[in-house]
Copies of this chain bind each other. A is one copy, B any other.
Amino acid sequence: MRVNVPLEKAYLLLNHGPTLLVTATDGGKPNVMASAWNTALDLDPPKIAIVLSGESHTRHLIDRSHELALSIPSSEIADLVLSVGKTTGAEIDKFDRFKIRTFPAKKVGAPLIDGCLGWLECRVIPEPRIAKTYDLLIAEVVSAQVVKGMFGPDGWIFAPKGVATIHHLGKGRFAVPSRTLIAKKK
């Protein structure tokens, strides 16, 4: 079951640096790619920054629609994240090929990916020179959802050894935050 996250808490979905699935559509076939290079950028209204190659098919769809969606995958679908990261939507329909189930977003056209732990819907803030020079997009978050029970007022709640977000270390190896440490101010 999914629940809405208040927009001023949306940054907490990305605060710990998870690897993401990025979806986009220009009204035709949507596409999906993986992203490790992203960060929260602002609190309220929430913004994000994300690096997406100007040569990628998903980026072409975003450049035409000015929208994207971020799905935050769980450790249960790491194989899928690697697979969509290693293929291009210019050549195959990844949704068909990898049997990816989706559901409609609330505010944007891009589909959201089932089996994930959280979802952010975003509208691109036009910064064409930065997008062209650095492949860096800036976007406002217009909707945020999480799986019920995994997110509290202070952010993600991961059970020890339980399902959690994944964090790409490189070459298909993902770090999984299976331990939570409570720090104390000195």
Number of A residues near B (Cβ < 8 Å) is: 60
Query: In angstroms, how far is the closest chain B Cβ from the Cβ of A11?
Result: 8
Q: Are B36 and A37 in contact (CB under 8 A)?
A: no
Query: In angstroms, how far is the closest chain B Cβ from the Cβ of A157?
Result: 8
What is the count of identical protomers in the complex?
2
Q: How far is the CA of A56 from the CA of B184 in the complex (A)?
A: 22
Fill in one digit per residue for A20-58: 1 if any B CB lies within 8 Å of its CB, else 0. Answer: 000000000000000011111110000101010000000
Q: Are B171 and A75 in contact (CB under 8 A)?
A: no
Q: How far is the CA of A38 from the CA of B50 in the complex (A)?
A: 10
Q: Are A177 and B180 in contact (CB under 8 A)?
A: no
Q: How far is the CA of A176 from the CA of B155 in the complex (A)?
A: 15
> At the interface, yes or no: A3 with Cβ under 8 Å from chain B?
no
Residues A80 and B186 in contact in the complex (CB < 8 Å), given A171-B154, A180-B173 = yes
- Who on chain B is nearest to A11 by CB? B37
> At the interface, yes or no: A81 with Cβ under 8 Å from chain B?
yes
CB proximity to B under 8 Å, residues A125-180 = 127, 130, 134-136, 138, 154-156, 158, 161, 164-180
